[in-house]
Structure 1
């Protein structure tokens, strides 16, 4: 039985694992420019997903001028389809302060269905970020 755990990052070692997952998914697989990938790390709360102790996914949230932004959801290719994305979204949402009034994210188009399960609704026009089409989504429920 595979044991999936999602934990808030507390150590530099855990953060390195988060960065390794993101580098694989965004920089290597999706060809995102590395300089766009590493920003706002200090003020972000990071999460690491592991299956049987092996890093498999990551995400983060941070407070912005607009509200609370969920971002950098990444699951390694060989672990996709195991509900890791759902576990990451749930963990990030559960960690937000109760006073979090406006929760939003910029979703890659193929990930929109995942976020909609958590009450996120698409808003505005489709746009490009790091060469990938996105939609802004805002949590309504």
Structure 2
């Protein structure tokens, strides 16, 4: 499998890239997870978008959120792996790229995520620790997690 990635601010995304990432987010968050929510939350325009391609197909994605937008720290959000590529390690790959991207863009700061609780072991393996109580977001149990700088 040939992997490539792009990390772009919103305004540098092509129309096709924007369509692909929004389609993937809708496919998983709205259709697969059966969540009726407004995915376009007016944060995308202030974020960097990490697109991971496998053989020229969008296989995984997340957005890097500057401090002060979602949390007081920089954040990684909308983490997603295409159903066609699950179990291939691309979730880990996109998160490792995102962590490095946060360091490069925002410096050596804590990184915060709002994790779906079923994925806690995965995020712990990447150095995140829980911070707070569980909460319901769109019918799915979440918990905030923080990763300290290396």
TM-score (norm 2): 0.85
1:1-40 paired onto structure 2 within 5 Å: 2-9=1-8, 10-12=12-14, 13-35=16-38, 37-39=39-41, 40=43
Tell me which stretches of 4 or more aligned residues in structure 1 moved more than 3 Å: none
The answer as to whether partners of 1:8 and 1:48 remain within 8 angstroms in 2 is yes
Deviations 1:65-103 (A, max 9, x none): 211011000112221111111111111111123524221
TM-score (norm 1): 0.90
Whose strand fraction is larger, Structure 1's or Structure 2's? Answer: 1
What RMSD over aligned residues (CA atoms) do the two structures have, in Å?
1.5
Q: How much has 1:4 moved relative to structure 2?
A: 2.4
Quick one: structure 1 residues 63 and 98, their matched pair in 2 at CA, closer, same or farther if it must change by over 3 Å?
Answer: closer
The answer as to whether partners of 2:7 and 2:48 remain within 8 angstroms in 1 is yes
Unaligned runs of 5+ in 2: none
Give the one of 53, 63, 66 matched to 2:66.
63
Unaligned runs of 5+ in 1: none
Aligned residue-pair number: 139
Q: How much has 1:6 moved relative to structure 2?
A: 2.6
Quick one: structure 1 residues 134 and 17, their matched pair in 2 at CA, closer, same or farther if it must change by over 3 Å?
Answer: same
